[in-house]
Homo-oligomer: A and B are copies of this chain.
Amino acid sequence: MEEYVKILQRRIIKEIELVDGNKFKIDRWERPQGGEGISCILQDGKIFEKAGVNISIVHGNLPESAIQQMKSRNKDLDPSNGPYPFFVAGISIVMHPHNPYAPTIHLNYRYFEINNANGTKLWWFGGGSDLTPSYLFEEDAIHFHKTLKDACDKHDPSYYPEFKKWCDEYFYLKHRNESRGVGGIFFDDLDRKPQEEIFAFIKQCGDAFLPSYVPIIQKRKDMKFGEEEKHWQQLRRGRYVEFNLIWDRGTKFGLQTPGARIESIFMSLPLTARWEYMHKPEKNSREDNLMEVLKNPRDWVA
């Protein structure tokens, strides 16, 4: 996994630099408690307001709070038997384009390993990818979901329906009763097949990133827009911040991990966001159409 995320990161950066015309800033960092990472950020580019492609390979002992969280997910961990050495290797991507018609994308895939006191090893893969538009283009949602479904179907026909549903449930703002975006796939604790088979699936998903997103960006990046569309995008960015700071488990795990690199965790936040009291889009407006889909997630591919 370590080698794969490094190769994938390089490939994605190269392609996105071609799209934007600007270069990523590359920061290599080490975690004093063990581990390293490479954070690549393109900020205030031509097409992207902020795009981050991070990889991290971290090891250490699981903090108590993380053990509790994992226990609640049926991991066989007894806090009194700790500390548990862990290893995690993953890639995280968030890209926020300038153009309000171009959607934000998020991807994260990670491999997690915990050494049990009795010498056995727990391991699993988790992650997914989801799309967050400010304006709904059905063809974009369909293209995105179809690309992910094709990747899933190559490995197990049950994956896409299960992980699509999981994504709708996970990227959900309970306090707003709305989804973050038009979804995608999400899963965690995936260990139901031999490790090599799941790893092959993860690579398929990682490889699907560019084909799932770049065609959409090419279509939307030069569309004309005005103040009104920018304003709505900023309000939607506010919701993105709410999800990441209140609900996202990855962010929470990051904030709990001693010595975590906060600037890498927060690269997922947009450059700018907005909150207005009691803002409500006009009935049947394009803004209202998006809200309709966020309140009632759709099936985008048959």
- Kindly report which residue of chain B lies nearest to residue A254, judged by CB atoms: B175
Knowing A245-B241, A245-B242, A245-B245 touch, does A266 contact B255 (C-beta < 8 A)? no
List the B side residues contacting A296 at CB < 8 Å. none
The number of residues on chain A lying at the interface, defined by a beta carbon within 8 Å of a beta carbon of chain B, is 30
Mark A266-277 against chain B: 1 for CB-CB distance below 8 A, else 0.
110111111111
Distance of A234 Cα from B245 Cα, bound (Å): 18
B271 near A271 (CB under 8 angstroms)?
A: no
Mark A141-181 against chain B: 1 for CB-CB distance below 8 A, else 0.
00000000000000000000000000000000011100000
Task: Please tell me which one of the listed residues B174, B269, B274 contacts residue A275 in the complex, with CB atoms under 8 A apart.
Answer: B269
Knowing A245-B241, A245-B242 touch, does A273 contact B272 (C-beta < 8 A)? yes
Knowing A50-B277, A176-B262, A275-B270 touch, does A246 contact B241 (C-beta < 8 A)? no
CB distance from A43 to the nearest CB of B (A): 5
CB-CB contacts below 8 Å: A221-242 with B:
234, 238, 241-242
A131 interface residue per 8 A CB criterion: no
A267 near B274 (CB under 8 angstroms)?
A: no
Distance of A41 Cα from B241 Cα, bound (Å): 22
This chain: copies in complex: 2
CB distance from A96 to the nearest CB of B (A): 10
Listed residue (A176, A238, A241, A273) with the most chain B CB atoms within 10 angstroms of its CB: A273
A263 interface residue per 8 A CB criterion: yes
CB-CB contacts below 8 Å: A44-63 with B:
50, 52
List the B side residues contacting A41 at CB < 8 Å. 277-278
B277 near A52 (CB under 8 angstroms)?
A: yes
Distance of A270 Cα from B174 Cα, bound (Å): 21
Distance of A267 Cα from B278 Cα, bound (Å): 9
A192 interface residue per 8 A CB criterion: no
B277 near A267 (CB under 8 angstroms)?
A: yes
List the B side residues contacting A267 at CB < 8 Å. 277
Distance of A271 Cα from B278 Cα, bound (Å): 12
Q: Which residues of A contact B (CB under 8 A)?
A: 25, 27, 41, 43, 50, 52, 174-176, 234, 238, 241-242, 245-246, 255, 262-263, 266-267, 269-278
Q: Can you give 19 A-B contacts (C-beta < 8 A)?
A: A25-B277, A27-B278, A41-B277, A41-B278, A50-B277, A174-B255, A175-B255, A175-B262, A241-B241, A241-B273, A242-B245, A245-B245, A246-B246, A266-B277, A271-B274, A272-B273, A272-B274, A272-B275, A273-B275
9 A-B pairs with least C-beta separation: A245-B245, A269-B275, A41-B277, A272-B274, A175-B255, A263-B278, A245-B246, A273-B273, A175-B262
